[in-house]
Structure 1
Amino acid sequence: MTIRRKARKTIAAAAAGPGMGQAGMGQAGMRLRLRLMRGSEIAVGPGKADLLQGIAETGSISAAGRRLNMSYKRAWLLIDTMNRCFRAPLVTAGSGGKAGGGAALTALGEEVLARFRHMEQAAQKACAADLKALRARLRKE
């Protein structure tokens, strides 16, 4: 299976159920969050992955941002950070106007999203026993 096909399959699977960034809280409000850092910047994390997924599903930065209760400016700043962190852009956007601009994930954007979602699932699975043990030791609310 090619990376692009696998990326599309992973994006579709992520759309069917929330990723760790959206849910993953489980019992007692404990969750595992994965972030990939490039220097002091977050290259991709749960929120940025959710934004990429929203763009893939809606074809719009504005619509993806609204889904996440964020302004267009905030969404654009997150995209700009991701685009600067990677060797090539993850998102391309056309200019707005009467016809509307639109946005899309590049092949690299699809791959980054698919790999990040896979890493989230693998980390959750690998840490499940330890998370369960730590939840049992949390203070009751």
Structure 2
Amino acid sequence: MAMAQRLKLKIQLYCGTEIAMGPGKADLLDAIAREGSISGAARTMDMSYRRAWLLTDAMNRCWGEPLVETAPGSAKGGGARVTPYGQAVLGHYRALQAKVHGTSDCADYAALAKAMLPEPRISQKS
């Protein structure tokens, strides 16, 4: 059974050679906001704490203000929160995603989907 043709459009915003925002980082911000910590967000996304921390650090280094603020763990708690600036960046990114995903109704998208084969041809190189 052949799969229907599909095009996947992914938005990645670059700061130099670093990805400042993309689908995974946006999902991580959502998870941090929901869980209140980087470690909790990492667990819900099935990623290591180190990976989540590195992605968060990259985001914080790429924008005019930090997207995530952290507080060290202690008897008073600790954790992380998405800053108001981070919420604004995330909101703009999600709005841009919605606009791009809405392009699937356009003629260009339909033309590309029609021109694409259901499966790649077998390579002629051996």
TM range (shorter): 0.7 to 0.9
Pair 1:136–1:67, CA change in 2 (3 A): farther
Aligned position for 1:82: 59
Counterpart contact for 2:103–2:109, Cα < 8 Å? no
* SS of the residue 1:96 aligns to: strand
Provide the alpha-carbon RMSD of the alignment: 1.7
| Alignment match of 1:63 (pick from 27, 40, 45) | 40
Of 62, 72, 94, the residue aligned with 1:117 is: 94
Are residue 139 (structure 1) and residue 123 (structure 2) matched? no
Q: Are 2:36 and 1:50 aligned?
A: no
Tell me whether 81-90 or 29-38 shows the greater mean CA deviation.
29-38
CA contact (8 A) 2:31 2:41 kept: yes
The structure 1 residue matched to 2:17, chosen from 40, 51, 69, is: 40
Number of residue pairs matched by the alignment:
115
Deviation at 1:58, TM superposition (A): 1.2
1:118-139 per-position Cα deviation (integer Å, ceiling 9, x unaligned): 0111122235423333222222
Query: Percent of aligned positions with the same letter in both sequences?
Result: 45
Counterpart amino acid of residue 51 in structure 1? L
What TM-score do the two structures reach when normalised by structure 1? 0.73
Report the CA distance between 1:29 and its aligned residue.
5.0
More helix by share: 1
Q: State the TM-score, normalized to the length of structure 2.
A: 0.81
Alignment gaps of 5+ in structure 1? 1-26
Q: After TM superposition, give the deviation of residue 112 of structure 1 in Å.
A: 0.6
Is 1:95 the counterpart of 2:72? The answer is yes
Deviation, structure 1 residue 69 = 1.8
Q: Which runs of 5+ in 2 are unaligned?
A: 120-126
Deviation (angstroms), 1:87 = 1.5
Q: Which has the higher strand share?
A: 2
- Aligned equivalents of 1:65 and 1:133: distance in 2? 39
The alpha-carbon deviation at position 33 of structure 1 amounts to: 0.2
Instruction: For residue 92 of structure 1, give the secondary structure of its aligned residue in structure 2.
Output: strand
Cα distance in 1 between the residues matched to 2:43 and 2:5: 28
